[in-house]
Amino acid sequence: MTQPAMDDVSTATTATTAAAIPSTSPELLLSPLHDAHVGAGAKFSEFAGWKMPLEFSGVVSEHLAVRSSVGIFDVSHLGTTLVRGEGAVADLNRILTNDLDRIGPGQAQYSLVCDDEGRVIDDLIVYVFGADDALLIPNAGNAGVVNDLVRSRVGPAVQVIDSQRETAIIAVQGPAAAELLRAVGLPVVMAYLGVLRDTFEGVEVVVCRTGYTGEKGYELLLPAEVAVRLWDRLLTAGASLGVRPCGLGARDTLRTEMGYPLHGQDLGGEIGPVEAGLSWAVGWEKPEFSGREALVAGRDGSLRPRVRALVLLDRGVPRAGASVHLRPDGPQVGHLTSGTFSPVLKVGIGMALLAPEIGPGDEVVISQRGRWLTARVTPTPLVESSPRD
């Protein structure tokens, strides 16, 4: 097994990040933390209509900081939707695929939003504060569609409030995440997928035990006007812990090492919950949710392609869209949905939609730029991470 050259690494950590297109368009939305990022020398890219930091000190160093100590991310481009009113959670449970009856106040759940044909519109986290009070965090590019669908299907007593532009979201991720939050006076004692409300400088902060890196971590939702002060406090308090500000490039490499799907690449379109390995996020026994009839009809996963993780055995970095074969010049058995360089494994890794008969341990070849790259289908996560609980 050989390792990618450094030029492979640098291109992999930018070109393979979803929707990462360098842009200086004045029409792009800016995070409440934008000026702080400019002052820190961040490199920016477009993410779903937002100008967001791609990297600060470099994707690899930021990635390794999260795996070994702690990093903080600005993810204020994510949607923030308040769903409030009599029966709000019950109404959501008739829309989202997962079963909200499995959780209670102070808990969060990963779920999907599907259309009537069972296609995944988005994946999201729903936070429940009470029977009449919930919070949805959809992906940035899908927030408007999700909000419209929810509004069209909740009862007249329920309000669906888009607070994306008024809210900042800071993700604190890594083995030292709890220590860092404790240092700035925020609560840390909660189970994985727990959520509670606290205060910072007199304003409400929602503290969530969630994240997209596989490490122990928290996501903090707070009013946009105090975001810079909390961001600066986290950097100051975390200096002795080795904290690093991290861009969305590292967020992408971290999630790929864990095998977490990215909507629009590893999920959505032809890739439904069964193909993506997300059957666990569907409450199959629920009598009602958006797309239920179509999903139940196609529930048998044994005959359907599946998204699998790949680890390269050759030098190179896999690219989304590349075709996958069992042997050079053999018939195509799938295609890459995501590809990048793993800073921990120091090899190319990816995710691919593969024929159902191909599973962990099998070797395949990827056709890319006139080369054949050998890869092994590997169970996820691809790397060990710190305990989340």
Is residue 218 located within the same domain as residue 103?
A: no
pLDDT of residue 126: 98
Is residue 107 located within the same domain as residue 226?
A: no
Task: Identify whether 364 is part of a domain.
Answer: no
pLDDT of residue 31: 98
pTM, full prediction: 0.93
pLDDT of residue 301: 66
Task: Identify whether 346 is part of a domain.
Answer: no
CA 192/CA 209 separation, integer angstroms: 5
Is residue 91 located within the same domain as residue 157?
A: yes
Is residue 61 located within the same domain as residue 191?
A: yes
What CATH number is given to the structural domain containing 114?
Answer: 3.30.70.1400
What CATH number is given to the structural domain containing 231?
Answer: 3.30.1360.120
CA 193 to centroid of chain Cα atoms: 14
Q: Could you read off the pLDDT of 287-344 as tens digits, one per residue? A: 999 999 999 998 876 788 999 999 999 999 999 999 999 999 899 999 999 999 999 9
CA 145/CA 155 separation, integer angstroms: 18
Average pLDDT over residues 127-134: 98
Instruction: Answer whether residue 272 shows pLDDT above 60.
Output: yes
Average pLDDT over residues 251-261: 98
Is residue 87 located within the same domain as residue 229?
A: no
Is residue 156 located within the same domain as residue 18?
A: no
Say what percent of the chain tops pLDDT 70.
Answer: 93
From 162, 191, 212, the end of a domain falls on 162
pLDDT of residue 200: 95
pLDDT of residue 386: 78
| Banded model confidence at residue 26, pLDDT cuts 50, 70, 90 | low
Instruction: Answer whether residue 87 shows pLDDT above 50.
Output: yes
pLDDT of residue 3: 31
Range of the domain at 195: 6-75+165-258
Average pLDDT over residues 208-214: 97
pLDDT of residue 7: 31
Instruction: Answer whether residue 17 shows pLDDT above 80.
Output: no
pLDDT of residue 85: 98
Rounded to a whole number of angstroms, the CA Rg of the chain reads: 21
Phi first, then psi: what are they for 13, rounded to 5°?
-85, 0
| Banded model confidence at residue 25, pLDDT cuts 50, 70, 90 | low
Task: Identify whether 215 is part of a domain.
Answer: yes
Is residue 12 located within the same domain as residue 87?
A: no
pLDDT of residue 24: 47
Assess contact for 333 and 324: CB atoms under 8 A.
Answer: yes
Q: Could you read off the pLDDT of 161-208 as tens digits, one per residue? A: 999 999 999 999 999 999 999 999 999 999 999 999 999 999 999 999
pLDDT of residue 20: 39
Average pLDDT over residues 108-114: 98
Task: Identify whether 175 is part of a domain.
Answer: yes
Assess contact for 147 and 79: CB atoms under 8 A.
Answer: yes
* Structural domain count, the chain: 2
Instruction: Answer whether residue 73 shows pLDDT above 80.
Output: yes
Instruction: Answer whether residue 15 shows pLDDT above 50.
Output: no
| Banded model confidence at residue 6, pLDDT cuts 50, 70, 90 | very low
pLDDT of residue 4: 32
Average pLDDT over residues 29-56: 97
Average pLDDT over residues 62-87: 98
pLDDT of residue 22: 41
